Amino acid sequence: MYHKNIAIYDDGKLIIYTNEDSKLNIDDDAPVLRMQVDDEEVEQVKHTIKQKRFWKLPRNLSTPSDDGKFKYITVNLKNGSKKVGGLNPDNERFDDIYQSVWDLVEGEEYRNLKEEIEEYIE
């Protein structure tokens, strides 16, 4: 179990990465997926972010749990940045935004990243 982070920028840069984790031997050189999404996809995500009121979500959406998945979204705009998520976040607005960004990630590229991270951890 490792953190899955998605960062999306106003210019269409999309990055999927994991956090450093001493328990899993994950350092800052862990594999990262960097993509460029087109303007139409950026506008689609921006619309979802606005519609679901991302900027009003609390930063920590963790639910009480001893295990599960950490999920985070970081939105980086020219005039600000915000990171939202946590352990097993249970928030429909967050889930909708998270899914809209994940829909942009090509399956093959993400599967490769996942394999690289798992090999890295081993």
User: 19-56 pLDDT, tens per residue?
Assistant: 766 677 777 788 888 989 999 998 998 899 999 999 99
- The torsion angles phi and psi of 84, rounded to 5 degrees, stand at -130, 145
pTM of the model: 0.76
Calpha distance 70→59 (Å, rounded): 13
Every domain of the chain and the residues it spans:
4-121
Q: What's the pLDDT at 20?
A: 66
